[in-house]
Amino acid sequence: MASSSNIKIHEHIKVVPPSSNQTTSISLTFFDIFWLRFHPIEYILFYTLPNSQSDTSFFFQTIVPNLKSSLSLTLQHFLPLAGNIVWDFESQNPKIQYTPNDGVSLLIAESDLDFNHVIENSPKEAYLSRSFIPHLKSTNSFASIISLQITLFPKRGFSIGISTHHAVLDGKSSIIFIKAWAYLCNKTFETEESPTLLQELKPIFNREIIKDPNGNNSIKILSKKYPSQKRNERSLKNFHFEPKLKDCVRATFELKHEDLDKIKQRVLSTWETFDTRESKPQNISSFVLACAYSLVCLAKAIHEVQNYKEKFGFVFAVDCRTRLKPPIANNYIGNCIWGHFIDAQPLDFIKEDGVSLVAKSIYEKIKMINEKGFLEEAIDDVYNKHSCLTREGFEIFGVAGSNRFGVYDIDLGWGKPTKVEIVSIDRGLAIGLAESKDGSGGVEVGLVLNKHVMNFFSTLFHEGLCTH
């Protein structure tokens, strides 16, 4: 039994799928290769336990064995995820490979931190959440796909920390995997033998359904994405996107349904004030409204605190499953997202009417994608625009997660999550989105920022909702 900071490690095991004597190999698509050396997707599900189940013995004798056995059953359905990414010397592209006895790293740990402090929405030390996230191995020759950590907070609850490799799983895919685990965990807890998955949770790994428009060459794609990196071209080691932890805090803000409606009315009331390609819409999605409002508050906070920065941009990932021709199923497991920059002007984010300007830009970009397809904006343009804006000193915002993933429905048998955090937003300048946990149609917005920027953001965020 080892210990580190506030964490005591009870067990470190490899969970393997049952009857796993077959070898499986799956190629990566150009969607996947884009993320080959990107940092992992990292998030935490926190669960509060009722008093009758919150003692240490119940956790280790009942909860942990059930989580282990159901994880093994889940991997039987998601066999490639128990393997690794490898890149053979004679192969042009890397691949996912599962061989017998491969498995997923699982840490069983215990924390002495105050559970209430850890799960609160108000700003807390950014580094705290890192204690509950497992390391995902990546070397020059191989990269793990999933790593998990289950952490007990005695007499209060537990957390499940998940690290997933972005070249194998996009956000939707990783959530489908966790939902399948939760479903089987409930079924095995009910002592059901050989439970079958619901149809919407049965994974589709077939890469043949993704047609590559530009030639699937990993080295070519990577050299465009990381033109300034000195690298071993065949390395699978993640580039360093170190978490921003020094003098930084992590917080969650909520836009309730009535807040979003208020923002929508404000945006629609000024729609025709500005030059626009589109007539005023009947409705605007919660995603557009939450992003526009949060990013404008963020830009204004950075502008105020960090030397009056003025140039801002926003790139967001679009789920292409329903936009491909022909469309593919929602339970396709792999990357099927592509980034798009909005066409807002650099100063739009800090103007008085910034929320309306940014909301219109996001809305128009999504409408264009829906009408013309995700490849209307050429693949090379995404790389070139990012490089160009970075050289010009832009702060480029991103977004992780979605308010449509249903993360607060992930019940492993002991109730729904008390809190969900996308931890990996601390590796860049991004907001993390989830639906409000009360199911009322609101949106949660997660941020990791410098303390002073967070203070200013918080003031702008709350005052903006009160004054309109």
Per-residue pLDDT tens over the stretch 367-406:
988 888 766 455 667 777 888 888 898 999 999 999 999 9
Q: Is 230 domain-assigned?
A: no
What's 138's DSSP letter? B
Task: Flag whether 243 is in a domain.
Answer: no
Confidence band (pLDDT; 50, 70, 90) for 222?
low
Active site residue 411: yes
Pairing of strands 41-48, 124-125: unpaired
The answer on 79 and 182 residing in a single domain is yes
Q: Are residues 184 and 270 in the same domain?
A: no
Does 235 reside within a domain?
Answer: no
Kindly state whether residues 303 and 211 are assigned to the same domain: no
pLDDT-based confidence at residue 273 (cuts at 50, 70, 90): confident
Determine whether 117 is an active site residue. no
Does 232 fall in a domain?
Answer: no
For the sheet with 24-27, list strands across it: 24-27, 95-98, 84-86, 142-144
pLDDT at 229 over 60: no
The larger pLDDT score, comparing residue 233 to residue 320, is at 320
For residues 347 and 390, membership in a common domain is answered with yes
Check whether 439 has a pLDDT greater than 70. Answer: yes
What CATH code is carried by the domain that includes residue 387? 3.30.559.10
- Is the pLDDT score of 153 beyond 50? yes
- 348 inside domain: yes
Whether residue 242 is contained in a domain is answered as: no
* Number of domains within the chain: 2
Please tell me whether residues 106 and 255 are part of one structural domain: no
Identify whether 331 is part of a domain: yes
Residues 202 and 261 in one domain: no
C-alpha dist (Å) from residue 214 to 30, 211, 217, 375, 379: 9, 9, 9, 11, 9
Claim to verify: residue 181 and residue 258 sit in the same structural domain: no
pLDDT at 225 over 70: no
Q: What are 410-438's pLDDT values in tens digits?
A: 999 999 999 999 999 999 999 999 999 99
Q: What is the pLDDT of residues 80-123, one digit of tens each?
A: 999 999 998 888 889 999 999 999 999 999 999 999 999 999 99
Same domain, 438 and 379: yes
306 to 170, 174, 199, 397: CA distances (angstroms): 32, 35, 50, 15
Strands 41-48 and 157-164: antiparallel
* 253 & 333 share domain: yes
pLDDT of the residue at 3: 39
pLDDT band with cut points at 50, 70 and 90 for residue 218: low
- 8 Å CB contact between 254 and 446: no
CA gap 119, 117 in Å, rounded: 6
Catalytic residue among 261, 343, 409, 411: 411
pTM of the model: 0.94
| Chosen domain end from 177, 192, 225 | 225
| Residue of 166, 303, 340, 386 marked catalytic | 166
pLDDT tens per residue across span 15-52: 999 977 889 999 999 899 889 999 999 999 999 998 87
Distance CA(377)–CA(178), nearest Å, equals: 32
Whose CA is closest to 28, among 140, 138, 143? 143
> What pLDDT is stored for residue 176 in this prediction?
98
- Same domain for 90 and 49: yes
- Among residues 190, 225, 260, which one ends one of the domains? 225
Across 59-63, 185-189, 284-288, least confident range? 185-189
Give me the chain's average pLDDT, please.
Answer: 90
Name the residue range of residue 31's domain. Answer: 2-225
136 and 273 in one domain?
no
Considering the domain architecture, whether residues 139 and 279 belong to the same structural domain is answered as no
Residue 233 lies in a domain: no
